[in-house]
């Protein structure tokens, strides 16, 4: 037992013996604490930048040599090491105590050392809603024209290979010759049977997870020690991104239609890095980096990853996702990530690196209306996925739960047999319908009517029949119950599938919002995509709710989250990569962003779920993806190595460190300027200025990728409130001799303000293409008494400088 000064030290007595006893007791306690801290080992990642050697064996040997410096022998170092990252980049993961980790962090040639954290998962009709309709009269629809030469690597919970979603499409050619990957044998996974020309790679990574949670216990934990999926999340996301066409797909006859991924002909490689623990997906960073290392060596073209962590975010090169995706970008591989499910509060967006695509989630135009009939007197309409009519007595939550809060701890032990309970989300509060369902199930209730704000309602696969209604309808039901002399008779009719709901899309209330907490001058999320009640493939032996007492088995299931919106964008990126193989990840991201739309199906502004307000770029990024327009964006904002170097300089890296990170290329200046260059000047498709104190000028460069080499683009501007915006030149003339041109944006604050973001846009158009960039500005000058900025000569000098640069 450690020394406790509060129990032992009574300094009011004032004698020297007491002071000495306390001093030595405290010294001994702290010594024991630090000895214990030093002896406790955890998994750390030691990141060394790009691989300095062309031979993976030599790289691995250098890792052992480096690790041996903090162990008494090379043998101990080898036993400590989990993975050696030796293909796409250089580094390793190993079990270390804090002293060893600190020693390695201070060693020359080491970029970063960080604890391997555990990241969490961000857990048909959607493609029609995006305009990729199979039966639109085209002979070869867009989704079936491109993709068979592209490999999408999905980092997730594995795959259910028997699903029809992963069968070989008719006429699918041989596996691309560039592919170096493989399918790895494991529990209930036989490569010869389970892999084909569609599913061409399957690996699994377990060492980081087992070091964190102990050995994978398949008896108490229904998991497979292989690439086979139990949790269903990986099967769902893979199916959404690249699933083959499957007719008559549905969840218990809901959403019946032809299911397919964004790029049905693309090849699939699965990297199982997330494992079930108490039915929750856990993804160890050491495993994630091992998957990145293999995937880049295997030859994937796109990486799709629906996991992450909420703020506080770690520095960029102390994050497995950011490290892996940085080296992927340098090799021409696009990385698409989910933005997170921490909405609707601001600044909780995750996966914010400027070399990735971060995806928010929004709804589609499909709903599942469910009618509730009470005493045959009146009815209300909610949303649910109920297959059979339900009858019972309607009761208020106050009859069974203290304070009317449907929480397990509030249950008064009364049995609610054949009762349908009305619960309000704000009583308690009850964080989710799932929490209320567990409480009603414990009370033996037959069903639940869950009342929540109208912007929060999402039909879901429930453990007991649950209808979601808005607060207005819930209030009417509550009043009716209160005025009734006995419990009313209630009948819930089977749910239906309805298409054409408006408005749609609406940003999901759970979708994480910007601004980025660690790089506010880079707009994140980048775009939004369908992520609400998405139908996709599901493991045949896993219940749709994952719960052991749920005996239903399905081949297709509904899921919601930015986990679902991420693979929608991954599928679109696969189509773009197939159609434009020479485009860089930055050019592809630009095409997706600048063609995104901000109007819903009523031609009004997209709404932000979780509120009644119009969405802004922190909700939707550049807007909602528009795949067919992204194929022909007109202009793209590409990013050169120098753009990334400016960013690296701004986050504290010096020339020597940057040389260790960036692949060498002729003529590339890796030095950091003595004059600070804002991240706003990086050639990103959006423009964000998070601290506009005085007049400033920003440069952007665009490249003509349209079918016509000669093109003339004119600019239009929507100015943020209180900001003067001037663009020079206002006309861009492209030719076969001039396919790349620059323009300058000069911003001048016209108001005194602090802490308030304002939004505008810049649109370049040639009459056919519209290349749109969000303009996000925070004027921050309310404490600035300097009125020089009111001088027109300051604004004019910026314009003159811009025009002379042109």
Residue 65 CB: number of other CB atoms within 10 A?
11
Which pair of structure tokens corresponds to residue 21? 């006893």
Contact 359, 512 (CB under 8 A): no
Task: Let me know if 233 is a catalytic residue.
Answer: yes
Nearest Cα to Cα of residue 65 among 115, 112, 109, 111: 109
C-alpha neighbours within 13 Å on the C-beta side of residue 141: 18
Could you give the C-alpha distances from 247 to 198, 236, 490, 558, in angstroms and in order? 18, 17, 37, 17
| C-alpha triplet 186, 190, 195: angle, nearest 5° | 115
Alpha helices, DSSP H only, in 562-650? 562-579, 585-594, 617-620, 627-630, 641-650
Alpha helices, DSSP H only, in 627-666? 627-630, 641-650, 655-661
Residue 417 CB: number of other CB atoms within 10 A?
11
What do you get for the CA distance between the two ends of the chain, in Å?
73
Helix axes 320-330, 285-298, angle to 10 degrees: 10
Write down the catalytic residue from 128, 156, 600, 616.
156
Distance (Å, whole) CA 279 – CA 362:
25
Strand partners, 49: 90
- Residues 6+ positions from 21 with CB-CB distance below 8 Å: 8, 9
Nearest Cα to Cα of residue 291 among 178, 218, 184, 174: 184
Contact 757, 777 (CB under 8 A): yes
For the chain, how big is the Rg over CA atoms in Å? 29
| C-alpha triplet 667, 672, 673: angle, nearest 5° | 100
Cis omega before residue 636 (within 30°)?
Answer: no
SS3 5: helix
Distance (Å, whole) CA 346 – CA 281:
25
Write down the catalytic residue from 122, 233, 568, 580.
233
Distance (Å, whole) CA 205 – CA 161:
18
Nearest Cα to Cα of residue 514 among 681, 692, 350, 307: 350
Are β-strands 246-251 and 254-259 bridged in parallel, bridged antiparallel, or unpaired?
antiparallel
Distance (Å, whole) CA 652 – CA 676:
11
Residue 664 CB: number of other CB atoms within 10 A?
9
Distance (Å, whole) CA 336 – CA 303:
6
Write down the catalytic residue from 51, 60, 563, 565.
563
- Residues 6+ positions from 275 with CB-CB distance below 8 Å: 157, 206, 209, 216, 223, 281, 282, 283
Nearest Cα to Cα of residue 603 among 529, 531, 504, 670: 504
Burial level of 55, CB count in 10 A (0-12/13-18/19+)?
A: exposed
| C-alpha triplet 49, 52, 58: angle, nearest 5° | 120
Task: Let me know if 156 is a catalytic residue.
Answer: yes
Which pair of structure tokens corresponds to residue 763? 């649109």
Distance (Å, whole) CA 711 – CA 782:
43
Question: Annotated catalytic sites, by residue?
Answer: 156, 233, 563
């Amino acid at each position: 037992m450690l020394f406790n000064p509060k129990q032992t030290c009574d300094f009011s007595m004032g004698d020297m013996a007491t002071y000495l006893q306390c001093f030595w007791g405290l010294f001994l306690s702290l010594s024991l604490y630090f000895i214990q801290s030093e002896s406790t080992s955890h998994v750390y990642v030691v990141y060394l930048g790009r691989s300095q050697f062309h031979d993976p064996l030599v790289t691995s040997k250098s890792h052992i040599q480096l690790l041996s410096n903090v162990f008494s022998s090379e043998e101990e170092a080898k036993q400590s090491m989990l993975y050696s990252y030796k293909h796409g980049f250089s580094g390793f993961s190993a079990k270390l105590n804090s002293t060893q980790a600190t020693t390695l962090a201070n060693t020359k040639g080491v970029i970063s050392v960080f604890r391997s954290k555990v990241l969490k998962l961000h857990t048909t009709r959607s493609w029609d809603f995006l305009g990729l309709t199979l039966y639109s009269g085209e002979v070869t629809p867009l989704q079936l024209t491109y993709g068979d030469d592209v490999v999408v690597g999905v980092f997730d919970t594995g795959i259910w290979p028997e699903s029809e979603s992963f069968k070989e499409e008719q006429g699918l050619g041989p596996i691309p010759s560039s592919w170096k990957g493989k399918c790895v044998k494991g529990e209930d996974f036989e490569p010869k049977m389970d892999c084909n020309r569609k599913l061409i790679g399957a690996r699994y990574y377990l060492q980081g997870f087992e070091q964190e949670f102990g050995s994978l216990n398949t008896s108490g934990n229904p998991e497979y020690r292989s690439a086979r999926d139990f949790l269903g999340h990986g099967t769902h996301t893979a199916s959404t991104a690249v699933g083959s066409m499957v007719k008559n797909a549905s969840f218990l006859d809901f959403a019946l239609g032809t299911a397919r991924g964004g790029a049905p002909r693309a090849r699939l490689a699965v990297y199982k890095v997330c494992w079930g623990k108490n039915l929750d997906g856990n993804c160890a960073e050491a495993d994630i980096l091992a998957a990145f290392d293999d995937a880049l060596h295997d030859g994937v073209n796109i990486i799709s990853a629906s996991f992450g962590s909420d703020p506080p975010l770690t520095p960029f090169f102390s994050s497995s996702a950011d490290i892996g995706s940085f080296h992927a970008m340098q090799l021409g591989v696009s990385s698409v990530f989910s933005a997170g499910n921490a909405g609707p509060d601001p600044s909780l967006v995750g996966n914010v690196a400027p070399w990735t695509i971060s995806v928010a989630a929004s709804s589609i135009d499909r709903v599942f209306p469910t009618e509730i009939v009470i005493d045959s007197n009146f009815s209300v309409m909610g949303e649910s996925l109920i297959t059979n009519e339900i009858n019972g007595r309607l009761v208020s939550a106050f009859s069974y739960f203290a304070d009317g809060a449907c929480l397990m701890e509030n249950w008064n032990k009364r049995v609610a047999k054949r009762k349908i309970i009305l619960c309000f989300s704000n009583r308690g509060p009850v964080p989710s319908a799932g929490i209320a369902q567990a409480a009603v199930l414990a009370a033996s209730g037959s069903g639940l009517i869950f009342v929540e704000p109208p912007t929060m309602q999402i039909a879901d696969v429930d453990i007991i029949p649950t209808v979601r209604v808005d607060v207005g309808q819930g209030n009417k039901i509550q009043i009716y119950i209160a005025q009734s002399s006995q419990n009313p008779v209630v009948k819930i009719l089977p749910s239906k599938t309805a298409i054409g709901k408006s408005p749609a899309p609406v940003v999901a209330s759970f979708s994480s919002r910007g601004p980025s907490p660690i790089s506010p001058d880079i707009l994140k999320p980048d775009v939004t995509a369908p992520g609400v009640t998405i139908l996709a493939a599901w493991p045949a032996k896993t219940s749709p709710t994952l719960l052991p007492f749920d005996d239903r088995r399905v081949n297709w299931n509904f899921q919601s989250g930015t986990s679902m919106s991420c693979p929608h964008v991954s599928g679109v990126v696969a189509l773009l990569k197939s159609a434009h193989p020479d485009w860089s990840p930055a050019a592809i991201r630009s095409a997706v962003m600048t063609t995104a739309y901000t109007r819903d199906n009523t031609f009004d502004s997209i709404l932000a779920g979780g509120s009644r307000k119009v969405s802004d770029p922190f909700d939707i990024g550049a807007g909602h993806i528009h795949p067919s327009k992204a194929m022909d964006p007109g202009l793209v904002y590409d990013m050169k190595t120098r753009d990334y170097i400016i960013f690296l300089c701004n986050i504290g890296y010096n020339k020597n460190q940057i040389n260790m990170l960036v692949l060498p290329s002729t003529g590339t200046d890796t030095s950091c300027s003595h004059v600070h260059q804002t991240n706003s000047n990086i050639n990103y498709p959006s423009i964000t200025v998070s601290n506009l104190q005085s007049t400033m000028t920003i440069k952007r460069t665009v490249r003509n990728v349209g079918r016509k080499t000669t093109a003339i683009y004119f600019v239009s501007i929507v100015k943020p409130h209180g900001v003067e915006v001037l663009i020079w030149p206002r006309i861009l003339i492209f030719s076969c001799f001039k396919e790349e041109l620059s323009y300058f944006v000069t911003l001048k604050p016209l108001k005194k303000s602090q802490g308030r973001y304002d939004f505008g846009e810049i649109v370049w158009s040639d009459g056919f293409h519209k290349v749109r960039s969000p303009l996000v500005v925070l004027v921050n000058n309310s404490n600035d008494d300097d009125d020089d900025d009111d001088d027109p000569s300051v604004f004019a000098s910026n314009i003159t400088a811009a025009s002379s640069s042109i």
